[in-house]
Chain A
Amino acid sequence: MGEVARGGGCCPPMDLFRSEPMQLVQLIIPIESAHRTVSYLGDLGLLQFKDLNSEKSPFQRTYAAQIKRCGEMARKLRFFKEQMLKAGVSPKLSTTQVDVNIDNLEVKLSEIESELTEMNANGEKLQRSYNELVEYKLVLQKAGEFFHSAQSGAIEQQREYESRLLSGESMETPLLQDQELSGDSSKQIKLGFLAGLVPREKSMTFERILFRATRGNVFLRQTAVEDPVTDPVSGEKTEKNVFVVFYAGEKVKAKILKICDAFSANRYPFAEELGKQAQMITEASGKISELKTTIDTGLQHRVNLLDTIGVQFEQWNLLVRKEKSIHHTLNMLSLDVTKKCLVAEGWSPVFATKQIQDALQRAAVDSNSQVSAIFQVLHTKEMPPTYFRTNKFTSSYQGIIDSYGVAKYQEANPTVYTVVTFPFLFAVMFGDWGHGICLLLAALYFIIRERKLSSQKLDDITEMTFGGRYVILLMSLFSIYTGLIYNEFFSVPFELFGPSAYECRDLACSEATTIGLIKARRTYPFGVDPVWHGTRSELPFLNSLKMKMSILLGVAQMNLGIIMSFFNAIFFRNSVNIWFQFIPQMIFLNSLFGYLSLLIIVKWCTGSQADLYHVMIYMFLSPTDDLGENELFAGQKNLQLVLLLLAVVAVPWMLLPKPFILKKQHEARHGAESYAPLPSTEESLQVESNHDSHGHEEFEFSEIFVHQLIHTIEFVLGAVSNTASYLRLWALSLAHSELSSVFYEKVLLLAWGYNNVIILIVGILVFIFATVGVLLVMETLSAFLHALRLHWVEFQNKFYEGDGYKFFPFSFSLLDEEDEVL
């Protein structure tokens, strides 16, 4: 690329037509005011810093330690946010702007973090003890019931036995019974027991395994606990059973213990005596209520702490992110160790010079520095970034154009025309004023609730629709207009602008269905005559009309594109492009397709029956033949010969001269050079990328020639294919009107015909859903896409280069949009 031609305009300047003029500036900032300077520049948001330390890794840079600190603080803030979410505390938007020092903030954050972690750990411990106690109490209660019932049963038996004994010694009493009774105490085997809780789903298996492991020599009793119990280990509520297992012997005890552990059954000590059980129950209850109050106060304390954090959270968050971005930016500046200052380089718009200088001044004053920063404009051959100053209306259109490619620095911006032509071409394909009104209502809804919706977090689809609300507004307004022209209101025509032009040939209207009506009155003044809808010849008429309309609109837009390339050539003072690109392109396109447009208009005005396909094709195949009945005006044959000749001449005119002229220009510029200019102090510090411009500039003639050949072939073939591409305007408009009329006739009218209220309601509902789903959503997207394609390809390939890069300044307001989570 050659020099960046600082072009001049032929015409007065227009907003948004070309990107803002940019300049490369160099700032020399004393170290003590560096942080503040960068902070103020971030508030201003009009300077894009260049990375002067790009060859260094992130860890080698000057401010890596500070960034690590900021990262730590960010981690702590994330932790707080998590804790707040868990506790259900939401961070409030603080209205008071308390100035917080970043060092104090760091200390405060670490304090709060340690406090919070301690509280969490303590809370967990307490909760665990609480759960264990609750389980213990349950065991005491339930197991106590076992013993109580068993004891009472045993006492019953004993009493019965004793009563039998006391009732008298008789000869019937067996002798062995005495022995059994007396021998009881000496041969008593001590039974041990274990009590605890086991999860209910494992209880059957537990019982079975116990039985098998101990060969049936244990006695197990279980009861279910009604409510689910919080397990101390896992912290979840599970259904459990209380069990008591009686065993005899130490080995059996060991086995039972292992089985209990395997089943994660918690065991608790249990005393046999009734009195002691009661005492332990009261003790446990007391401890439980104590623990409960402790836990509650602990939770309250935690919630209070989180509340205080919540009040200041957003502010701290913003501060930490600002600090991080400031240090990232400071890392991009090169440290001039001898002069104790930092050197910054960046792109900024020319209009922002005063504002930047003001910010530097303020920063120097605020940081009590002796020296203020130095502001210097550098000269460079690099291509500057592209910056368009858009408002909320034009930004969505600029976004659409930027999606295809960001404009090269100061080339003509297609957005200026796209603002109108894009909704217009959409409307040509959408054309129904009923649907247009629905779209208008949707767009107005978004625009009226603009302020509220822009502060909310919307999901992807709604966000895209909201972002394009002004585009949709214009689309709907143009759709209403084209709907009135096509005369379609949900596919129904109206006679709004006067009487229809057609009437029957005779009073009996006998030939209306065979030969048709005749045009008796003046042409219907605005739009398509309402009589056409529903007739047999509607489609032939409308197809012919819409196809010719598409060609006319297409040729007009392509001519506009070529004229834009003319404006570019004038701006960049590239006369080669004017004489050897713009003029032959205009001649070629207009001698063929401009002539076709002319023929269409003449045919309409004269009502001739000439076949235009025939005319165009035979213009190429046999241009010298007599036209006969296809003659539309006198001298047509000669005109066609001239135009054909011009078109044929235009092709080598586009192809051949330009490469040779470029070669001559290059030789004139660099041929006589035997020295290279010395790099001056005003040059950028990053000289290595500019080496090529000093030395021998690469000029491959064959490359230029092939490039020009490709460009010419693209244009010549593209002239035909792009013109035909515009026929999609016809195709989609036909599809839309056919779908619309199908839904109206086959759903609504059919439902009306039955004279039944229920069928009518069902029919109306189906009609509404079909209209909204198919026509308002699918057709809108479809027409949007095709109109976009027409702009991106057919319009822009006539002039747009689109290989620039976007201006992305260091700005704190852009920071907010970057990442919501730190």
Chain B
Amino acid sequence: MQERHDQIVSTPSPIHHLQLGIEIAGTLSLFSPIRIWHQSTDMGFPATTLIFAAIGIVASLCTVICFNRGSSSNLFHLTLVLTATICCWMMWAIVYLAQMKPLIVPILSEAE
């Protein structure tokens, strides 16, 4: 942690300042008790999958209600929304699963 702060201080670029701010805010959340529970049972995957499913259902309902133009048209719009939801979920799921139990860890490059 220390070294990363040093890294950030030595090359003062605007985006790194921003990152520092966000990181400090994130660090404060480390001390929440929920974190401990989350770490022991990785609930992230099913929970977020449910969130994607919920968003998909809400979007489908909105499309059918707002653009109601006959059953064949509705089916077409539903197909589009469903395909989009599945594509987005697949991409998220792949990236998430790949990081769950990593075989490679980040090795920082030498400080410039």
Binding site for B on A (CB under 8 A): 12-17, 416-417, 419-421, 424, 428, 481-482, 485, 492, 494-496, 498-504, 507-509, 512-519, 521-532, 534-538, 540-541, 544-545, 548-549, 552-553, 556, 601, 604-607, 609, 749, 752-753
Query: Chain A's nearest CB lies how many Å from the CB of B82?
Result: 9
Query: Chain A's nearest CB lies how many Å from the CB of B45?
Result: 8
Cβ 8 A contact of B1, one of A14, A419, A509, A516: A509
Chain B binding surface, main DSSP class: helix
Contact indicator A604/B91 (Cβ below 8 Å): no
B30 on the A face (CB < 8 A): yes
- Complex Cα distance, B104 from A538, in Å, reads 9
| 19 residue pairs bridging A and B, Cβ less than 8 Å apart | A12-B75, A13-B72, A424-B84, A424-B88, A481-B88, A513-B108, A513-B109, A517-B105, A517-B106, A517-B107, A523-B42, A526-B96, A529-B106, A532-B106, A535-B107, A535-B109, A544-B104, A545-B94, A605-B101
* Per-position 1/0 for B57-84, Cβ under 8 A of A: 0000000000000011101100110011
Which B1-59 residues have a C-beta within 8 angstroms of A? 1-4, 11, 13-15, 18-19, 22-23, 26-27, 29-30, 35, 38-39, 42, 44, 48
A-B CB proximity, top 6 nearest: A607-B101, A516-B107, A15-B76, A516-B105, A499-B26, A420-B83
Query: Chain B's nearest CB lies how many Å from the CB of A462?
Result: 28
B96 contacts across to A, CB distance below 8 A: 523, 525-526
Closest to B45 in A: A523
Known: A523-B100, A548-B98, A604-B101. A507 touches B1 (CB 8 A): yes
Contact indicator A17/B76 (Cβ below 8 Å): yes
B13 contacts across to A, CB distance below 8 A: 749, 752
Known: A12-B75, A513-B110, A517-B105. A508 touches B84 (CB 8 A): no
Closest to B22 in A: A495
Contact indicator A525/B27 (Cβ below 8 Å): no
Query: Chain B's nearest CB lies how many Å from the CB of A659?
Result: 35
Contact indicator B99/A501 (Cβ below 8 Å): yes
Contact indicator B91/A537 (Cβ below 8 Å): no
Contact indicator B29/A14 (Cβ below 8 Å): no
A544 contacts across to B, CB distance below 8 A: 98, 104
Query: Chain A's nearest CB lies how many Å from the CB of B108?
Result: 5
Closest to B79 in A: A416
Contact indicator A421/B87 (Cβ below 8 Å): yes
B14 contacts across to A, CB distance below 8 A: 752
B80 contacts across to A, CB distance below 8 A: 416, 419-420
Known: A549-B94, A552-B94. A607 touches B76 (CB 8 A): no
Contact indicator A495/B19 (Cβ below 8 Å): yes
Residue with the greatest number of chain A CB neighbours at <10 A, chosen from B4, B44, B107: B107
A545 contacts across to B, CB distance below 8 A: 94-95, 98
A496 contacts across to B, CB distance below 8 A: 22
Contact indicator A541/B2 (Cβ below 8 Å): no
Known: A14-B76, A15-B75, A749-B13. A548 touches B106 (CB 8 A): no
